[in-house]
Amino acid sequence: MNRLARACDRLRHAFSTNTAARISNEEKDMLDVAAKAIVDRGMAAPAVMLLDSMKPLGDLASGFAPFLEPMLAPLMSAEKLQAIQSLLGRRDAIEALVQAIERLSGQATSPSAKTKDRPRDE
C-alpha cells in the first residue's frame, strides 16, 4: 500500500461519524421519557428543529453540559446528568430522540385535529 493510500485510509477513519456503540435499553428509556415530556408540553416541532440543527455541534453541546451542571443538579441525579452529557455528543442518540419525539407526536392528537372533525354551529 503506497503512502497516499494509507493517508487517505487514515483520513477516512478520522472523519467517520459512524459510532460502533449502540444505544442501550436504559438510554432508550431515558430518551423516551424526554420525548414524552417534550410532546406533552406541545414542543415537538421546536424540539425537533433544535435537535436537527445541533447534530453537527453534538461534541460542543456535550462539552457545554458541565457548565450547566450547577443549574441542573437540583433537578436530576449526577448519574442522569452524566448520561445526558454522553448522549449529547452522539449523533445516533440525537437521531433516536428525534425519532421518539416524532413517533409520540404522531400518536398524540392535536387540538386542531379534534376541532377539524367537529361540525360547526351556524
Instruction: State how far the Cα of 13 lies from the Cα of 15, in Å rounded to an integer.
Output: 6
What pLDDT was estimated at residue 116?
46
Find the DSSP H helices in the chain: 3-14, 25-40, 44-54, 58-72, 78-88, 91-107, 111-116
Mean pLDDT computed over 73-82: 76
What is the three-class DSSP state of 24? Answer: coil
Mean pLDDT computed over 108-112: 50
What pLDDT was estimated at residue 100?
93
* Grid cell listed for 58: 453534538
* Grid cell listed for 115: 376541532
Instruction: State how far the Cα of 34 lies from the Cα of 36, in Å rounded to an integer.
Output: 5
Contact 91, 22 (CB under 8 A): no
Q: What is the mean pLDDT of the chain?
A: 75
User: Over 50: is that where the pLDDT of 114 sits?
Assistant: no
CA 20 to chain centroid, in Å, comes to 18
pLDDT tens across 41-63, in order?
Answer: 899 999 899 888 888 777 676 67
